[in-house]
C-alpha cells in the first residue's frame, strides 16, 4: 500500500514510473539488434559492459566523443517525426572518432523529456539503433529522464556518447600531412546537424515558411529537406583505410570549412580549397540567397555539401575517388595542401562555387 501511494504521489508530480518501465520493455528488442559479440549485459542494468578483444592491436587506445543534435530537434517537433534524429545523434558522435582512425565499439544515449511519451521515445531509440547498426557499434545503455516543467510541452533533448578503439600507432592526427598532398571531399547528405539556429531564423522567421511547404528546388517539402539525417562515414573510412594511405581526415561539422580543416594541419601548412570543384546541395544556395549570407559566413557555418575532407597522396587520388564512387559516395578532389607563411589563414578558397 505504501509503495502504491509513493508511486501515485510521484505521478502527481509529473513522473510516470510505470510508463518508464513500459518504455524499457518496448525498446529491448530494438537495442538487442545492435549488439555485437563484445556486449555482455542486457539493457536495464546499472551499467553496460563491453568485452574488449585486443589481440589484433599492439598499443590499444580508447577514443571517445559526445555530442547532441542541437536545434535540428525543433524540426522534428514541428513535423512530429522522431525516428531520424537518433541517426543524427549517432552520426555526430561516431564521425568525430572515426576521422581519428578509431573503430566504434559502443554507444550510450541520454533522452530528457518533460513528460515521457513511450511511443515518441521508442521512435527516437529506433533512430539511434539504426545509426548504431550503420556504424557497426552496439547500443549498450542510456538514460531516459522525465523532467516535468523543465521543457516545453512535447519537446525533449538528446545527448550521445561513443567509445571506440584504435591502435596508437595508427591514429590519424594529421602530423604527417605535407605540402603537395591532395584533399578529397566526400559529399554530405545536406545540412547534417549544424547551423539550424540560423536556418530557422531565415526560413521560419524571415520567409514565414512552413515545414509542409513544397520547395521545387529540393523536390520535396521543406521539412523533409531539413530533417534529412546526417551521413555516417564509419564504413567508408574503414574500407578506404584498408587499401590507401590516409594522412588526415577532417569532419566538417560546427565551424564549417573554415574552422575544421585546421584541426589536422600544422602551423606550416594550409588547405587551398577550390570551390568550383563540387556542387553543393540546393539547400545551401537557397539559404545563402534568402538570408543574404556572405561567402565567408557560409563557409564558416555550414558543410556546404562536404561532410569529410580526406588528405591523400596525389598518386592515389584517382583510385580513391573510384573506390568512393563504388561505395556509393559522391566525392571530389577539392584542393591541395600548400606551404603556409606566417600570418596566412590556414584555409584559403579559390574559384567560384557552382
What's the pLDDT score for residue 16? 63
Is the Cβ–Cβ distance between 27 and 123 less than 8 Å?
A: no
Which one-letter DSSP state was computed for residue 182? E
Work out the pLDDT band at 13, boundaries 50, 70, 90: low
What's the pLDDT score for residue 24? 75
| Dist. CA 46–CA 149, nearest whole Å | 26
* Annotated domain spans of the chain: 2-170, 182-350
pLDDT tens, position by position, 119-128: 999 999 999 9
Same CATH fold, 182-350 and 2-170?
no
Query: 162 pLDDT exceeds 60?
Result: yes
Report the predicted TM-score, pTM, of the whole model to 2 decimal places: 0.92
Work out the pLDDT band at 354, boundaries 50, 70, 90: low
Work out the pLDDT band at 3, boundaries 50, 70, 90: very low
Class of the 2-170 domain?
alpha beta
Between the CA of residue 267 and those of 124, 175, 248, 339, 346, what are the distances in Å? Answer: 42, 11, 15, 9, 8
Work out the pLDDT band at 319, boundaries 50, 70, 90: very high
The C-alpha cell that represents 316 in the structure block? 592515389
Strand partners, 64: 163
Is the Cβ–Cβ distance between 99 and 134 less than 8 Å?
A: no
What's the pLDDT score for residue 2? 46
Query: Closest Cα partner for 132 from 170, 100, 155, 164?
Result: 164
Is the Cβ–Cβ distance between 85 and 69 less than 8 Å?
A: yes
Q: Measured on CA atoms in the order 123, 128, 134, 139, is the torsion positive or negative?
A: negative
Longest dimension (CA), the chain: 77
Work out the pLDDT band at 1, boundaries 50, 70, 90: very low
* 325 class by beta-carbon count within 10 Å (0-12 exposed, 13-18 middle, 19+ buried): exposed
Continuous segment of H or E residues that includes residue 221: strand 220-221
Task: Give 220 or 39, the one with higher predicted confidence.
Answer: 220
The C-alpha cell that represents 115 in the structure block? 513528460
Query: Closest Cα partner for 25 from 136, 118, 134?
Result: 118
Is the Cβ–Cβ distance between 51 and 38 less than 8 Å?
A: yes
What's the whole-number mean pLDDT along residues 285-310? 97
CATH homologous superfamily for 182-350?
PurM-like C-terminal domain (3.90.650.10)
Amino acid at each position: 500500500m505504501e509503495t502504491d501511494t509513493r508511486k501515485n504521489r510521484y505521478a502527481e508530480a509529473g513522473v510516470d514510473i510505470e510508463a518508464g518501465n513500459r518504455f524499457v520493455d518496448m525498446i529491448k528488442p530494438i537495442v538487442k539488434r545492435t549488439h555485437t559479440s563484445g556486449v555482455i549485459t542486457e539493457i536495464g542494468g546499472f551499467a553496460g559492459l563491453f568485452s574488449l578483444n585486443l589481440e589484433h592491436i599492439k598499443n590499444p587506445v580508447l577514443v571517445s566523443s559526445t555530442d547532441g543534435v542541437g536545434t535540428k530537434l525543433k524540426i522534428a517537433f514541428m513535423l512530429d517525426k522522431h525516428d531520424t534524429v537518433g541517426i543524427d545523434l549517432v552520426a555526430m558522435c561516431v564521425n568525430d572518432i572515426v576521422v581519428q582512425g578509431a573503430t566504434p565499439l559502443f554507444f550510450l544515449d541520454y533522452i530528457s523529456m518533460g513528460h515521457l511519451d513511450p511511443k515518441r521515445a521508442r521512435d527516437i531509440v529506433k533512430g539511434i539503433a539504426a545509426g548504431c547498426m550503420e556504424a557497426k557499434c552496439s547500443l549498450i545503455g542510456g538514460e531516459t529522464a522525465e523532467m516535468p516543467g523543465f521543457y516545453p510541452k512535447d519537446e525533449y533533448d538528446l545527448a550521445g556518447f561513443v567509445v571506440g578503439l584504435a591502435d596508437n600507432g595508427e591514429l590519424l592526427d594529421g602530423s604527417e600531412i605535407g605540402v603537395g598532398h591532395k584533399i578529397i571531399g566526400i559529399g554530405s547528405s545536406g545540412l547534417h546537424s549544424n547551423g539550424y539556429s540560423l536556418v530557422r531564423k531565415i526560413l521560419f522567421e524571415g520567409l514565414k515558411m512552413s515545414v509542409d511547404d513544397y520547395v521545387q528546388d529540393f523536390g520535396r517539402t521543406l521539412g523533409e529537406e531539413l530533417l534529412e539525417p546526417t551521413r555516417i562515414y564509419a564504413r567508408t573510412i574503414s574500407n578506404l583505410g584498408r587499401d590507401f594511405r590516409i594522412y588526415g581526415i577532417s569532419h566538417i561539422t560546427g565551424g564549417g570549412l573554415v574552422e575544421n580543416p585546421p584541426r589536422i594541419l600544422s602551423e606550416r601548412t594550409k588547405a587551398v580549397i577550390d570551390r568550383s570543384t563540387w556542387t553543393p546541395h540546393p539547400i545551401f544556395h537557397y539559404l545563402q540567397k534568402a538570408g543574404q549570407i556572405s561567402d565567408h559566413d557560409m563557409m564558416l557555418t555550414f558543410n556546404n555539401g562536404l561532410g569529410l575532407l580526406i588528405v591523400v597522396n596525389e598518386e592515389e587520388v584517382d583510385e580513391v575517388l573510384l573506390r568512393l564512387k563504388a561505395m556509393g559516395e559522391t566525392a571530389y578532389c577539392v584542393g591541395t595542401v600548400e606551404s603556409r607563411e606566417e600570418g596566412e589563414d590556414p584555409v584559403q578558397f579559390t574559384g567560384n562555387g557552382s
